[in-house]
Structure 1
Amino acid sequence: MDLQKYLDGLFEFLTIPSISAQSEHKKDINSATVWLQKKFSDLDFNANILPTNGHPVVYAENLRAGKEKPTILVYGHYDVQDPGNLNEWITKPFIPEIRSGNLYARGSSDDKGQLYTWIAAIEELIKRNDIDLNIKFLIEGEEELGSLNLDEFIEQNKSLLVSDFCVISDSHCLSENQPMIDYGLRGIVYVEIKVKTLGKDSHSGIYGGNILNPLNVLAEIVSKLKGHDFKVLIPKFYESVRKISIQEKRRLSRLPLTEKDIISETGAQIVIGEPGYTLHERAGARPTLDVNGIWGGYQGEGPKTIIPSEANAKISMRLVPFQTSADIYQKFVNYVQKITPPGVELTIKLLSTAEPILFNIKSKYFKVAEKSYENIFGSRPVYELSGGTIGVTASFKNILGINSILMGYGLPDDGLHGPNEKLSLSMFEKGIKTNIEFLKNI
């Protein structure tokens, strides 16, 4: 296998700054779709750029194996996160560089690099004339925005996307020698709150003590969302949470995840959490609520003594089976409205949602994935309830009626969404080889 050839292709892909959240990168979004379309066309796929109400998707198919053979749907995303503070990057985020056995670039692990393991695997099998199944690709450009328009696209294109199962590489293994398969994912409700108390910013000396400060109000609201025991205080927030069995608890406890690992990976001083649950249970089997951003008032250099007119926060809630996004969102709205004091103009904006999901680990496709990992990595994969969210998995199950398998090739320290994102070259190579094993043994 010519690994350098596949790295060269990935390098090209990574140089495109396809940042979905910023309108100034619309041209780059389009460039990424054109690049993918050409890549698939070169592999003799029928490839098209299809519109949505947001960024387009790339759909490609090769159905030459015939109707008697299984059809695999490969999902991925070409959009990436903003690189953030460029001063924190050792090298430029969109000029890929290899250092110490790792490929550094924005999107190297999330998700261009992992997606490319499937493109490379299929290219390799085509070169060997050793592929005997139908393959479809669905690659979106709004995953980092919460896949805002993907459900509608899937609903409108059900016949186009008919498949036996879906594979997704947008997760991680525990180490370069220990593969892992996520058998469940948390869902999400992501909201933005605006608290407005004044018509304009006002002098804190003249008016302070007589008018509501929206930052103080927002701080009070946020403080009432979680207790000192880290439990969410929204009434009936936990009423639909799935209870896990003793057997499942034992399986989760065998995962080699420790408090030391969390501290090392995040830079946290201590590990905290909801009492009565283990670290492993809190990581994927329990729902959470976190403030993702909070802002308002003067933030420039030097003093400016004002009471700002408004304050804002972004808050996410990660959900577990059998919670639903609609139910949790309504409970959040009802509770925040109740604890907001008089004299406040409150706005709650729903930014994105996704449903939690459990996968059928007894399916034959999971068994093939297990064996493929074992043949390449030398060890059987462990199973984890992931704390993350890949909303399209629930969409595929609910709309198309198919299960997904998460075959990730990242590592816990890849730095997703942060500076110096990386992908291990060893994991990239193992990912291609594992995918080849999987495709040959369906």
Structure 2
Amino acid sequence: MRQAKDFLQQQLGWVAKQHCDLPENPEDLPQWMQQHTERTGYAYQQYLKSRKQGAPRRYFANKSEALLFLQHIEPTKRVDGSWLYGTLQSWHDVNCHQLIRTYLDELGNGLSAQNHVLLYQQLMSKEGIPLATNLPDEYYHQGCIQLALGLLGQDFMPEVIGFNLGYEQMPLHLLITTYELDELGIDPYYFSLHVTVDNAHNGHAQQAVEAVYAMLPLFKERDEFYQRIRRGYMLNNLGMSTEQIIERIDLKEAITDVFKHKAVVGQFAHGNYCRLAGRSINEWLASSDEIGRFIEVLEETGWIKRHENPENSRFWQLIHGEKAVMFGVFSHAEQQIIYDWIAGDWLNSSDAPRIRRYRAVHRHVEIAPSQTLTIQQALNSKNADLADLAQKLVERDNSEQAFYLLMPYLAPSLHTSVVGLWATQQFVGLLNQEANLPVQS
């Protein structure tokens, strides 16, 4: 807790010295949001116009670059919504309900098909993208800020409100990313969901502005509170931006990393009969420093034929296809990186296969509804944690005990679990009762 507080205060001290584009007068926030929405919308229409006139994709030259992007933003997406976790403790304050409901929306209100973190995990799994475990620290910076805000939400409520205000505004990169992922045959739903729920009319963007007014003091310490909101808003600018992450993507570096990871085991798995440039495959793979040169040798000896159909490359034939000698060695995403790097300029030729948009291919796919369990079903569950929580809920004396009993299960580390999803559903029901709203059965 102390470490998180020191970290957060350090970040706030840094942004306090930076220019803030948030209006100095909170009454000007609706106009500021409208202008931001219009600028973003106009820029996106210009992007679409340029694409229609033949301009290439702005972010991703090929599918591999898109997959690498998804991997490199995963540390932040893994904690989606976490900055609002601390607001749950203010369940008794109706003024805080706007923020709480935004957090519950991020958690899909307990439905697995709508939980944002689960949706991203499913996207990663669907594309065979490994978790980002060895990225430089700067890729985890923004996620750490969000976790710190969630942990210390009660002490840093103005900063949480300000951060939420900035994060929920519609960014141009979200619109372009959604468009280009779909174009490359990648499911864009996680991103398109944020386009719809963050809208400035009745979505999270509008709710974020309303939360400012709901929580802003009327008189005493009003100015100081709002200045803290502005500093919290500025925390959005820290860490790696989407554009910076995209600019750092390097396909040659990516394929080298893939080979290095495989070399840990691969250096012991090959026979000595095949030699390239006088060295066996095992010898090439024994030193990570030699991997880059090994890839060059594969190209020089004709095992890889750059800027041609990868099917013409002997190396690709060895790794791709059910009857390939090295079938299963490389994941789907790793094969895509190798394929796109080999293909190079050929991908832009008329001979290259046309990629169909994801939504065009999956237009009529039916999504199964998420299951919800009653208290009785939870009590009889084979999941011991779920049954235990249900039993404690039955035995509680009042709604206040229930709220505090459920809160830990809605934490960023637990809400995607079976018990976390069920706890979220129960929390939503209790909050609706508190606000005298109809409770869905």
Given the two structures, how large is their TM-score scaled by the length of structure 2? 0.24
Higher relative contact order (CA 8 A, sep 6+): 1
User: Quick check: which one's helix share is greater?
Assistant: 2
Given the two structures, how large is their TM-score scaled by the length of structure 1? 0.24
Instruction: Give 1 or 2 for the bigger CA radius of gyration.
Output: 2
